[in-house]
Structure 1
Amino acid sequence: MLDSLLRDHPLILAECAVAERLRRLPGVELHPTLFNTPFIYGPEAARDAMAAIYRKYLGVAGQARLPLLLTAPTWRLDATRVAAAGVPRSINADAVEFLTSLRDRHAGSAAPVAVGALLGPQNDCYRPDLAPAAEEAETFHAVQAGELAATAADFLLAQTLPAVGEALGLARAMAATGKPYLVSFCTGPDGRVLDGTPLPEAMARLDDALATPPAGYFVNCTHPRFLLAACAPGDLGRLVGIQANGSSRDVTALDGATATEADPLDRWAASMADLHRRHRVPVLGGCCGTSLPHLHALAAIRDNPVTTST
C-alpha cells in the first residue's frame, strides 16, 4: 500500500501533532516515558480526546479526497521502556489495533488511509551525542520492530532520529521484518541531520549500506524553510515526506517549551507548498505546534499550487 501511494499520488497528507496537543489539554497528563500511548487503555476522557484528534485528521483528508498517513502511538515503546512501565506487554500491538480500528470505523471511501507504526530513538531525539552506534541500535530496536511488523500496520516509521548511525541500525532492524518502512531524521536550521550530516548524504549512506532500503525518507521536528535554504532542487530526490514544526525556531530551543509556539499559518503553509513544488515532496504533515488548521492548509495546496514563502 505504501509504495502505491507514493507512486500514484503527488500529494499525500500526514497527521499533524497528537501527543503535543494532548499534553496541552487541561487535566491530561502524559506518561513520563510512554507519553500518550497508555491512553489507549484509559482514562476514558484522555482516550476519547486522542481518538477525536485522529478522527478530525481523517475528516480533513476525507473532505479533501486526499490520501492520509496516520501513525499509531508506539514511539519509543521499546522492550526496555515497556517492561519498566509495567504496562501490558501487548501495548505495541494494542496501540496499532486502536488506530486501525478507528480508521476502519471512520475513514470514508474517498481516498486511502494507511496506518503506520512508530519507532523512536533509543535516547534523546535532540542529542545525537547520546545515539547508539549502528550495531547496538539494531539489537536494541529489533524486538519492537518485530512486534510492530506482526500487526496490521501498513508500514513502519522510525521517527525523530538525530544521528545517521542509529538510523542505519534501526533501518536494518525494520528491513529484517519484511514490512515496508520509512526513516525520518531530525534536522536543524542548517538543513543537516542533528549529528551534522548533510541530509542528502545521510539518505545516500543508508541507501548504499542497506540491502533493502526504505521506501523513502522523512524529516520531522524541523521547518520547511531550513531545507529550502540548504538544498538545491535535485538534492532531495529520496525525501518523500516532512512533518514540520509550526515554528521556525531551532528545535533544540523549542524542546521543553511551556506553551505551543507557531509561526503565522499562511507563511508556514507557503513554505510547505514551496518544498512540495521545488523538491517534489509528496507527503506533507505537521509536528510540534501544528493542529487541525495546519492540515486544512496543507490540503489546500493541491488547489493553490503556485505560492511563495518569501
Structure 2
Amino acid sequence: MKLPHQSNDLFITDGGLETDLIFNRNVELPYFAAFTALSNDVSKHHMCEYFQAYFDLAKQQCVSLIVDTPTWRASSDWIKRVESESRSVERINAECVSFVKTLQSVNSDTRSVINGVIGPRGDGYCPDVDTTVEDSLHYHRTQLEAFRLAKVDMISAITMNCVEEAIGIALGAKLMNMPVVISFTVETNGCLPTGQPLMAAIEETERATERYPIYYMINCAHPSHFLSVIQSEHPCLARIQGIRANASCKSHEELDNSTELDRGNPKELAGDFNRLRASMPNLNVVGGCCGTDVEHIKLIVEQLVTD
C-alpha cells in the first residue's frame, strides 16, 4: 500500500491515545508510557477497543488509516523510569509492533499502514534535555533498528520540541533506508518550545538531512496556535502534510497542570481543519493528539470528505 506522500488519498490517524486511556478508560500509564498497557489483559483490552474504533471509522469513511505503535515512551531512558526491571528497547518495541500488526490482520478489509512512533528523549512539552544531533542519533538508533527489524511501513518522530533531536532521528532513519516523518510541536506563538520558528526548524532539518523526511507534521498543539504560520507563503509549507491537533486551546503549561481532560469543542476543531486545508494544498494526514478521541476524528473526516 502507498504511504501518504505517495498518494492524494486522505489518511487518518488515531486521537490522543494516552489521554483517552487515562481519562476515558481509567488505565494507569506511568509517564504516559502507553506500552505498559500491554502488560495485563484488562488494559490491553481497552487499547484494543481504542484502536478498533479507528479501524471501524476508516472503513466507514473509505479512508486509509495510519496505525501508530504505542511506543512514544518506548526508548531506553523512559523504560528505565517506568519499569523496576527494565526490559530491552528491542523487546518492547517488537511487542508493540506485533500488537498493531495483529489488529491490522483482523481488519484486513481496511486500508492501513503501520507507523513506528518515536517520542522525544525528554519531556514532550519542554526541551529539558540538552542534546546534539550526534547524541540524538546515538540515543534513538536502537529504537529505529527495532522498527526496521519489525518491518514497519514508516516511522514518525512525534512531538519533537528541538531541531537537533529531529535531525538526529531523521539521519538515523536515513542510514537504515527507512521512510521517516518529522512532527514538531509548537507553543501558542507558533514556535517550537526552544523559541525557534517552525519554518526555520523545517528548513534546518531539510538542509541537514538533504530533504530526507518524506513529509513533516505538526502535533500536540491546537490549530489556533499555528494558524498564522500556516497562512504564510513560506516555501516549506508544502512539506507539511499532516496535522494532529490537540482538542484544547490551552498552552502546554496549562495542560501540564490540568487534572481534568479538556475535550475542547469537537465541531469547532473539525471546522479548524477545514480552514487549515484551504491554506495547505498537500494536507492529507489528519488526526488528533491530547484530549481528542474518535468523536473528534469522525467529525474532522466528515468535514473534509463532504466539503
Please report the TM-score for the alignment, with normalisation by the length of structure 1.
Answer: 0.91
Q: Which residue of 2 aligns with 1:106?
A: 107
Using the TM superposition, name which of 7-16 and 141-150 deviates more.
Answer: 7-16
Query: CA–CA distance in 1 between the matches of 2:80 and 2:128?
Result: 25
Give 1 or 2: higher helix fraction: 2
CA deviation profile, 1:112-160 (whole Å, cap 9, x unmatched): 2111011111111111243412111111111111111211311111111
Q: How many residues align?
A: 300
Percent identical among aligned pairs is 25
Matches within 5 A, 1:73-222: 73-82=70-79, 85=83, 86-89=85-88, 90-109=91-110, 112-211=111-210, 213-222=212-221
Query: CA–CA distance in 2 between the matches of 1:135 and 1:223?
Result: 31
- Matching of residue 71 in structure 1 with residue 68 in structure 2: yes
Cα gap change, 1:263 to 1:27, in 2 (>3 Å): closer
- Matching of residue 53 in structure 1 with residue 54 in structure 2: no
Query: CA–CA distance in 2 between the matches of 1:189 and 1:98?
Result: 35
**3-state DSSP class of the match of 2:50?**
helix
Query: CA–CA distance in 2 between the matches of 1:144 and 1:76?
Result: 11
- Matching of residue 36 in structure 1 with residue 38 in structure 2: no
Query: CA–CA distance in 2 between the matches of 1:167 and 1:194?
Result: 13
Please report the TM-score for the alignment, with normalisation by the length of structure 2.
Answer: 0.91
Query: CA–CA distance in 1 between the matches of 2:277 and 2:130?
Result: 30
Query: CA–CA distance in 1 between the matches of 2:136 and 2:44?
Result: 31
Per-residue deviation, 1:107: 4.1
Query: CA–CA distance in 2 between the matches of 1:188 and 1:107?
Result: 38
Checking the alignment, whether the CA contact within 8 Å between 1:122 and 1:132 is kept in structure 2 is no
Cα gap change, 1:208 to 1:2, in 2 (>3 Å): farther
Unaligned runs of at least 5 residues, structure 2: none
Per-residue deviation, 1:21: 0.8
Runs of 4+ in 1 over 3 A off after TM superposition: 80-84
Per-residue deviation, 1:271: 0.6
Unaligned runs of at least 5 residues, structure 1: 306-310
